[in-house]
Structure 1
């Protein structure tokens, strides 16, 4: 029964296709098809003319030329077809042409003015190109408007409407209009006559042009790669899962030029243990060149730490560095969200009150956000929006409580206004809790205290959550951070720049590097790894002694005075030539980041390219798209045009991007690349307001 149904369905489909083909190509019924012309013959077939009974080979075009007695078409004319038959066949062809035109999708009219709208509406089955040609002819009649005639106003309006229609139907953000590549594409098309040009289609974009662009971007990156041997690089890595739950590990190379995306590896079916991660990093190190690599940075997971130890064993001059931002965030989480487990009882006893304060803030926020009337009242008192900060965001609790302090006055006005107090809420206990919490000075004092002692940690996260060189600053910042936290706590509980003299006197307890026991001990270990040869290490120690004691070439007065004012790498470039070993080492170390944040932010790019709407992209094509997208951003941000008003920061911020205080830009759940990319590393963007007004 099933086989009969299947056979009937196939026959029905075949008959329908044949009928449709005969409707569009009616001359086939005047010949008898004998079969395919052979393999590789395309649409050619053998057929027999019913008028002259001659067997021919060719496609429908040659059937038409044969029957209509058209010469120079590669086939002889039929000598026995009558004029009456030709007239009848031409009528059938005209009817077929009309059927084909009617079957084409009708164009929806565009909102252009005057005759343009009329012509667009009347275009019916015409193609957009035909409508465009009609508009060009039509403008010749607009003699009453010489300005419009001089600037092709009708054609320009038509093009504007076509572009706007593309934006609206594809759901493109308006910020896309800032993209300089979008602008340059249309400028090129307008400034060059390309008759009959059609934009690249689906397959060409995803294959040939994608490969071509990736190859071109790789060539553009070569000048940056050529600096790696002198400046040194850091290799950073992080893991993620794509929309199809495939585990991915990305690898990026960071230098003082910025982070460069190298690859993303699909780890499906692999155990992500220390050996697998180490082998992945080792391949990248070998591709880059191990002499160019200063360190690898990953998070603090046990398998990553073990992989780092393996790398240090294979390459003694390469160091594994745990991500400073990840370390600090774990510390903040353990303080602000302490878990009540046996191994963490002491911390929980001391810090559980912080968790309670944060939960209260979340409850207040949810109460306001979940009641439309209360939310409308809140907006009358506050110009800042409530934030929904994702738990995965660095320092999420601190960000949430900071916003609460900024809107403290607005919240208090809200819960005390007559309209709010008279509002009938089903759950009166929740409303009372919100009112009591917001009006409690004791609760606000706790919030203030939390922000006070976490501020040094948060500020260090802000400094380190960048791609900028700051590795050389971490040690001193860490010590200073701990001292600042202690001071805030002791005050509350009522308990009693570059190694210059000025820098040493600025901070309490600061010591010169050669007088700090811990620094000296670690420096000796590093010298052994960087300079394995006895003679070379002896020379390096001698150079360091001169640097520390300000003797020899380092005793120059300008050299000593400049230690405080001049940026460290520039100082070594100006005064370090007499110590070539230390100078070379300084150029590499002083140019390294201290976190793997760029590899984590790269997943924002990945989720933008490989979203839930585009979840059928295979890993290789998604990797190519991310490679192009990320590295073009790297190249673009170094250009002057990137800061021009018309294309200013075109790759950051969506339609709602204005002042960070006016938008909920910290809500990672929005899933917008530009917002997710706006991390703590770009505080200068927080005050950016684009030139034109943005309607929200």
Structure 2
């Protein structure tokens, strides 16, 4: 019997991707992709191939199409089992009460209980005269076919719906990245929850009452940020850039422990090159947020912003260049020397990547004024790996460890105040 089963005399598709090492033991099944043997028959083996089951570790070598095939098979099998269980479990006998009447008369299938639950309500429907349990089963099969048709209709309805949404984007020139917006997804969800017959807002409502209400809600959010500014202080951030029309825009944001809030975007094309005008702009935001709440003002490091910062320091005496504070200045100088040495020697750079598992110490393509402090953060995160590198035999026997610069860098890394 076991010998016959081991030769694949099975309908379960799981046997296409598994086999028995011992024909006499059908509980131990071996995976064809990774060679792992599971205990629990073909069902456990399928769980191993599909993954995300507590009883079996996921096969990392199983192709996606095989995983999808087995998952669909198990879901269909589960559905068939549930339907059969719900409709026929606990049915030991059927008794038919014939009623001699016209064609409109019906009869009921009555369940003779044996200490179990009564006939399920979903199947206690009245059937045409003379129908038996097989008729009930065929009726359920028809219900399943209707469900499949409904699923097909749902797919078609969804395809048509999202096509309409896409056309709305195309016809109105809406940027595609709007689809990534959280508010766009929330709008789609609430429309779906509302259901049919939702009337869209009119031009007037969008332009006046709804806009006014949104401004009120936004002010409430900003007020919550202001409460945090009063408690712990905040940072004013001015970030400049150019749009498609080559206008110079400066975005003003305020950051605190509560989060970051966008305040305003200014068209600074006419005065961006003038340090005095930029200083007036920065000073206006310091006043708007509250001088006592401002911990720092972060801006670009262009010459115009540098001049604006110097002028702002003269007016606001408690504001100073963070890069010139002695402790921070010394830390930045050491970091620059360390990064310059590592990235200036390809051998040291490769060694560093081995110890940090290919994690870089400098990230390119980010805002320049934040680069120094993000680099400090990365150095701190990689502290353990860098110390392991500069105390390893690989470093000790390298020619770079004999260089005066290499010795200085190693000393910096191994400082207790790193």
Q: Which has the higher strand share?
A: 2
Q: Which has the higher helix share?
A: 1
TM-score band by shorter chain is: 0.3 to 0.5
**TM-score when normalising by structure 1:** 0.28
**TM-score when normalising by structure 2:** 0.43
